[in-house]
Chains A and B, each alone.
Chain A
Amino acid sequence: MRACKLRQLGIVAAILATGTCASLAAQSSSGTLNVVLQNGSGLQMVLNSDSSGVTLGNAGTSSATLGFGTVGAYGTLATNVTRTNQTNTFTVSTFFDVDVAESGLSSTSYTLAATLSSTAPTGLTVQIDSVTLSTTSATISTSGSYGTNVRHTLSVVVSTAASGSGGPTTGTQLSSTINLVATSN
């Protein structure tokens, strides 16, 4: 009977000792962070100056400006602006580049379309690659290549008529906004 009690006392002591060790081991902890990322698809378009074109303002962004400067049917023009004269009109032209990058797509080309945000000023007709622009979307190309500067010709056909007779207002800056949209094919 005494021996039995001693055995029980020993077991209790062993349990207590084990509990103390367990308390010391609980000073480290571990966890798992499950990171979730979904690779989506997307396009990015920026406008760049062409080596033979007018230098763009905000080149390398998706919101650029292009100034033809002062133009006339005769006389000098800004650098990299060319002119052709036709009956009743003259056309000034320059180059600009479009660079479209893609990610997460199996598409190999894109379609480029353009619209004017509002009707062109009186006496002016805006064209890209000879496609006349309006407030309705017009397709410029259907096979643009990704990841490279694609050259486009921007032209403005100017009526030679006098202001008030169908021609543009002279002596003041005229502007027009072209909205470009690239769509993966």
Chain B
Amino acid sequence: MTLRFSFRNALVCLLVLLGSLSLVDAQTTASSSLVISMTVQSSISLEFVNSSNSGEGYCQVTGAGTSTASLNLGIASISGDNESCVIFSSTSSQYSISNWTYLEVTESNSSSSSYTLTASLGSAPPTGVAWQIAAMPSALTTSTQTVTASEAYATQYGMYLEVTVQKTAASGSLNEAINFTATAN
């Protein structure tokens, strides 16, 4: 009788102990959910790049790799230009400065295989000054004109940019902003 009672007590103690152990060892969890959403849109990017070429006709732009770059064509007159990277020519009535300018258009999430490039001047140039891209039939104006109707993505597109200044043009800054727009075909 005494032995049986002791065994029962021992069993109870064991159960209590096991219960305590399971409480100590139990890992507790908590859960949550986060629903994320987005809408992906097709997009294209235009950025100016520098040519790997150098020398006459290959002035480097500042801001390469971005969509806003600057090109310094120097100080010029009918007698010449102080920038050696430009191509200079003159006649008795005018002079011209030319330079290769490059841009690259990339596309994302689009099945378009080509793009159309247009250009326009930010403001009308002074009298006697004309800006032209060689591939275009006429000088740039403040109206949008097509530079190329079908150009491949992710390749450098070179434009031969030329400014012609008549000797009658007033001296002073001829700064000009040329706006380019690429549109997926």
To the question of whether A and B form a pair in one complex, the answer is yes
**Chain A interface residues toward B at CB < 8 A:** 41-47, 56, 61-75, 90, 92, 96, 98, 100, 102, 105-107, 117, 123-124, 126, 154, 156, 158-165, 167-185
A173 contact set on B, CB distance < 8 A: 37-39
Q: Bound state CA distance, A127 and B106, in angstroms?
A: 26
Q: Which residues of B contact A (CB under 8 A)?
A: 23-24, 26-45, 106-111
Task: Using A163-B109, A167-B109 as known contacts, say yes or no to A180 and B39 having CB atoms under 8 A apart.
Answer: no
Among B30, B36, B40, residue most surrounded by chain A Cβ atoms (within 10 Å): B40
Q: Which of B27, B36, B109, B111 is the one whose CB lies under 8 Å from A72?
A: B109
Kindly state the separation between the CA atoms of A93 and B144 in the bound complex, as whole angstroms: 37
Query: A171-B39, A175-B35 given as contacts; is B108 within 8 A of A72 (CB)?
Result: yes
Query: Would A163 and B111 count as touching, CB distance under 8 A?
Result: yes
Instruction: Indicate which residue in A44, A73, A159 contacts B30 across the interface (CB closer than 8 Å).
Output: A44
DSSP class of B's interface residues: helix, strand, loop or mixed?
A: strand
Q: How many A-B residue pairs have CB under 8 A?
A: 158
Q: With A and B bound together, what is the CA distance between A107 and B23 in angstroms? A: 12
Whether A162 pairs with B111 at a CB distance below 8 angstroms is yes
A179 touches B40 (CB 8 A): no
Give the secondary structure class of A's interface.
strand
Determine the residue in chain A with the shortest Cβ distance to B43.
Answer: A72
Q: Is B37 a contact of A160 with CB atoms below 8 Å?
A: no
Task: Determine whether the beta carbon of A90 is less than 8 Å from that of B27.
Answer: no
Residues of A within 8 A of B109 (CB): 72-73, 158-163, 167-168, 170
Is the CB–CB distance between A70 and B38 below 8 Å? Answer: yes
A163 to B24, CA, bound (A): 53
Whether A176 lies near B40 (C-beta < 8 A) is: no
20 A-B pairs within 8 Å (CB atoms) are namely: A43-B28, A62-B30, A66-B35, A70-B38, A72-B40, A73-B43, A75-B43, A92-B38, A102-B28, A117-B33, A123-B40, A159-B109, A161-B109, A169-B40, A170-B39, A170-B40, A174-B38, A175-B36, A180-B33, A182-B30
* A169 nearest in chain B by CB position: B40
A residues in contact with B34, CB < 8 Å: 47, 56, 64-66, 96, 154, 177-178, 180
Which B residues are CB-close (under 8 A) to A72? Answer: 40-43, 108-109
Bound form: Cα–Cα A180–B43 in Å: 33
Say yes or no: B40 contacts A181, CB within 8 Å: no
A70-B28 CB under 8 A given contacts A163-B111, A168-B109, A177-B33: no
Nearest A residue (CB) for B113? A162
Query: Which residues of chain A have C-beta atoms less than 8 A from B28's C-beta?
Result: 41-43, 102, 105, 107, 183-184
Query: In the complex the two chains form, what is the Cα distance from A168 to B108 in whole Å?
Result: 11
Q: Are A162 and B110 within 8 A (Cβ)?
A: yes
**What is the minimal beta-carbon distance from A67 to any residue of chain B, in angstroms?**
5
> A46-B32, A62-B30 given as contacts; is B111 within 8 A of A67 (CB)?
no
B residues in contact with A170, CB < 8 Å: 39-42, 109-110
Q: When the two chains form their complex, are residues A181 and B29 in contact, meaning their CB atoms are under 8 A apart?
A: yes
User: In the complex, what's the smallest C-beta–C-beta distance from A57 to chain B, in angstroms?
Assistant: 8
- Choose from B31, B39, B110 the contact partner of A45 (Cβ within 8 Å): B31
Q: CA of A102 to CA of B109 in the docked complex: distance in angstroms?
A: 45
